[in-house]
A and B are shown apart, each in its own frame.
Chain A
Amino acid sequence: MTLLAERPAIVGEPREPEHEHGPTGILKWLTSTDHKVIGKSYLITSFVFFCIAGLMAVVMRTQLASPDSTLVSQHLYNELFTMHGSLMLYLFAGPFAFGGLANYIVPLQVGAPDMAFPRLNALSYWLYLSGGITMMGGFLVVGGAADFGWVAYAPLSNAVNSAGAGPDMWIVALVLTGFSAIFTGVNIVTTVFYLRAPGMTMFRVPIFTWNMVVTAILILIAFPVLTAALVMLWADRHLGTHIYTVSGGGVPVLWQNLFWFFGHPEVYILALPYFGIVTDVLPVFSRKPLFGYRGMVFATISIGALSTAVWAHHMFTTGVVLLPFFSLMSYLIAVPTGIKFFNWIGTMWRGSLKFDTPMLFAVGFLIVFLFGGVTGIFLASPPIDFATHDTYFVVAHFHEVLFGSAVFAGFAGIYYWYPKITGRMMNERLGKASFWFMFIGFWITFMPQYLLGLHGMPRRIAEYSSASGWTSLNRVSTFGAYLLFFSVAIMCVNFWQSWRRPVPAGSNPWDAGTLEWATTSPPPHHNFYSIPPIRSERPVWDANHPEHKALPSHAERAAKRRLIARPEVDLLGESELHL
């Protein structure tokens, strides 16, 4: 922890943290180990993958808008949905929040000058970029990209059923991005545990950072399993092993067990960071502290713990898993998720709510995620899963939760931290237009898909007969997808406008309370000129609104009573408050 020597002073004369004399421009981008540069690289790269995957979705929705459609061939369609899922899950939703936002924001929120291991951090990004390029490169080789679905079920993914270099490149890409995620996980855990500023106790760490810690631990549990499973898949394909093939005594379901042992924690690896964004945004635009901070922390930890024991709910219809156990565990996840919901509502309750774009997206997240969450409770029941498994009902469910978190909450994060990252505001009017297109487009796209699933439409089909009766619902869904496309297009216009006609943001445009708003926008090379005293999870709010500090909690009131009785025991360090 050599970085400790460089930590800024807490009080007293501002020190000059801008002592970078490194290269500029493209060379800076290539060689930097600054968490802010790496974070920005992650954000931009993953947003590009998001746009590519979104365009794939638009092509697929266009294909499905009419029966017997021949816009794309079956083979290309199979590649498209495989790559759409792979890009969205492996290269966008995770890396955007965990590689991008966490990288940029977590050191700022805990008052650290950088990540604990800056070079490892740079390695993470370059592994991620190499993985992404490798995966996309599948489209350029003979036989095309991987076409076995983003879950790559064995034995469809073996060398006989999916020959060619595309699937191999997909496997290599996942190993690379998997290592990138593992390294970032190590970095975030270490940074939060060792590089917090003085006064920043674990129960004063903002929930966004808390969620990133739990996410990092989940990554450290889940990704090594995926990597091992992928290596075995590679061995089956090229080294003549029979781990997942029946013919040599292997077990195809083993792949599903290993994959989902990664895959379900992965769902929460994709969700928890976005819950964190919403948890940071709601108090700021409600002008209130977070309701039930400790409940939120324990809810996050229990979601993380439960998520390692629910993987087989993806395998209810295999007939080879213990249904009641995995059903109960899946049901139980509703409880901490419910706690989060009521905490979010409690935060807004009797607050003073201002609907700037980040808040709009955050509240939009609450509204849309709730429905996806409720249909998730349906699917925790094996009999209901039997009726809907692998149909569009499931497609609608997981798009509602993943789109709800990664896009609604993700965009809330973009609009919220964009001023911090660039020093510029985004246009509110365009932001709001983008929100309303997205909110309306969301319901029009995914609600018909629930009905399609209940009417028996399987997922991953490139075509259907007009006799199936699915045409009109598919048309509606496709129309909604176009609205979503426009929403993202408006957002891109917004980026362009803020780039061409900058509106300076100042260090704290939202009157926010967490530590990243204590420094300039964008922050200097080692982040802080000075750090305000940290006596709650909102040090900047406490400094800006000394007369509106959070009401003392039960624990603090009890401690105060003890303090009055025995003044020599200064349990909370109350005397420091008058620094």
Chain B
Amino acid sequence: MRTLRSRTAARSPGGSRKPSSALRRIGLFVLLGLGAVVLGGCQAPTFGAFRGATVQGHDEFKLWFGTVVAGLVVAAFVWALIFWTIIRYRRRNESIPRQFHEHTAVEIIYTVLPLLIVLVLFYFTVVTENEEDAISHPSEIVNVLAYQWGWKFTYENSAGVKQGVTIQTSAEPKLLAQPAISSQYPQMVLPVGVETEIVLTSHDVIHGFYIPAFNYSRYALPGVVNTLPLTPNVIGVYPAQCTQFCGLYHSEMLFSVRVESQANFERWLTAQQIAQSASGVGA
């Protein structure tokens, strides 16, 4: 990009060299600032996104951060060119400018540079995507069934044996959405620090299984079983909601996720097993 700018400036005989060196200085500041931000690690700005309360979600966040920085640098550069052009070359008199219309070297540069940028972004995408989708050794399996308009979570241990715990939407669709953590909507409880495998499908139409704080979503498709790993690393309660439009009460298909310490999770699971076997729900 730099080459492009200075070459063009060098070609204009009357053009002053000042803007070029000023641009270089601004570029240096930008680079220094970015370096500081990147070295600062966790203090990096999020650009509005969640940092990711799972291992997978945090991987996504790192890719997001790098991509946004790259995108903003490119956007700032092109915007700067546009604004420079529309200010500098505003019509001042009725003379007709030089009728040039090509510059092979510049054209090659602005074809090759974007190609290199997107190839670098693609490389990091593939790396992150492979990390994010890899299921290693889940300690818990949660079967998620989406339906109009609710969710059903059934717990299994790592061997695939049902544990007698089912959490399900209890409320009929209301006319107004309640907070996602309200008791009418189901709550999926996950242990922190270990991998849980989500086995996702749909009973009727397509739904979107989306937990914003985990930076992750996946369609629940009828006739297809999708599996995905979640390794929460921050204890807390996270609102979640169906994202794929699924009919009349799409706006009210909420749920929440509670991440607990492993001990608390085991305690919760046992309590649910006792309660549900007594009432016959989890069978």
Contacts and interface: CB of A to CB of B under 8 A. Distances in A.
Interface of A: 68, 70, 74-75, 78, 147-149, 153, 155-156, 161, 246, 251-253, 286-293, 295, 317-320, 323-324, 327-328, 331-332, 334-335, 338-339, 341-342, 345-346, 348-355, 363, 366-367, 370-371, 374-375, 377-378, 380-384, 386-387, 389-391, 450-451, 454-456, 458-465, 467-468, 545, 548-551, 553-554
Contact of A465 (B67, B72, B178): B178
Interface stretch (B28-36, B107-115, B189-197, B261-269): B107-115
Interface in B212-270: 212-213, 215-219, 221-224, 226, 228, 239-252
B111 A352 contact: no
A370 B223 CA distance: 40
B180 A352 contact: no
A455 B79 CA distance: 27
Given A251-B223, A387-B216, A549-B99, A327 B122 contact: yes
Interface in B116-140: 117-119, 121-122, 125-126, 128-129, 132
Nearest to A378: B67
Given A252-B221, A458-B242, A350 B98 contact: yes
B179 A253 contact: no
Contacts of A363: 82, 86
B49 interface: yes
B81 interface: yes
Contacts of A451: 48
Contacts of B102: 291-293, 553-554
22 contacts: A78-B250, A155-B206, A156-B205, A156-B206, A252-B206, A287-B96, A331-B119, A334-B114, A342-B110, A346-B106, A349-B8, A351-B97, A355-B90, A363-B82, A382-B129, A383-B129, A383-B215, A386-B215, A387-B217, A460-B250, A550-B99, A551-B99
B18 interface: no
Q: What 5 A-B pairs have minimum CB-CB distances, sorted nearest first?
A: A456-B212, A467-B179, A390-B243, A246-B223, A387-B215
B153 interface: no
A193 B215 CA distance: 50
A350 B89 contact: yes
Contact of A456 (B119, B179, B210): B210
Is the contact region of chain B dominated by helix, strand, or loop, or is it mixed?
mixed
Contacts of B248: 74-75, 78, 147
A148 B246 CA distance: 8
B94 to A, nearest CB: 8
| Most chain A CB inside 10 Å of its own CB: which residue of B101, B128, B179, B212 | B101
B57 to A, nearest CB: 7
A382 B115 CA distance: 19
B75 A455 contact: no
Contacts of B99: 288-289, 548-551
The size class of the interface chain B forms with chain A is 35 or more
B2 interface: no
A386 B97 contact: no
A387 B96 contact: no
Contacts of B206: 153, 155-156, 252
A75 B175 CA distance: 11
A342 B4 CA distance: 11
Contacts of A342: 106-107, 110
Nearest to A349: B85
A461 B204 CA distance: 19
Nearest to B73: A374
B239 A345 contact: no
Contact of B121 (A74, A366, A377): A377
B75 A374 contact: yes
Contacts of A155: 204-206, 222
A291 B204 CA distance: 54
A366 B96 contact: no
Interface stretch (B37-45, B58-66, B154-162, B274-282): B58-66
A348 B85 contact: yes
Given A352-B97, A458-B210, A551-B98, A387 B57 contact: yes
A148 B226 CA distance: 23
Contacts of A367: 79, 82
B196 to A, nearest CB: 17
A463 B176 contact: yes
B251 A463 contact: yes
Given A155-B205, A161-B204, A352-B96, A383 B63 contact: yes
Contacts of A295: 107, 111
Contacts of A465: 176-180
B104 A381 contact: no
| Most chain A CB inside 10 Å of its own CB: which residue of B74, B93, B148, B243 | B243
B71 interface: yes
B176 A381 contact: no
Given A246-B222, A352-B91, A390-B210, A334 B118 contact: yes
B118 A332 contact: yes
Contacts of A456: 50, 210, 212-213, 239-241
B221 A353 contact: no
Nearest to B15: A350
A353 B64 contact: no
B245 A377 contact: no
A530 B85 CA distance: 37
B68 interface: yes
Nearest to A360: B86
A386 B218 contact: yes
B188 to A, nearest CB: 16
Contacts of A455: 48, 212
A458 B178 CA distance: 15
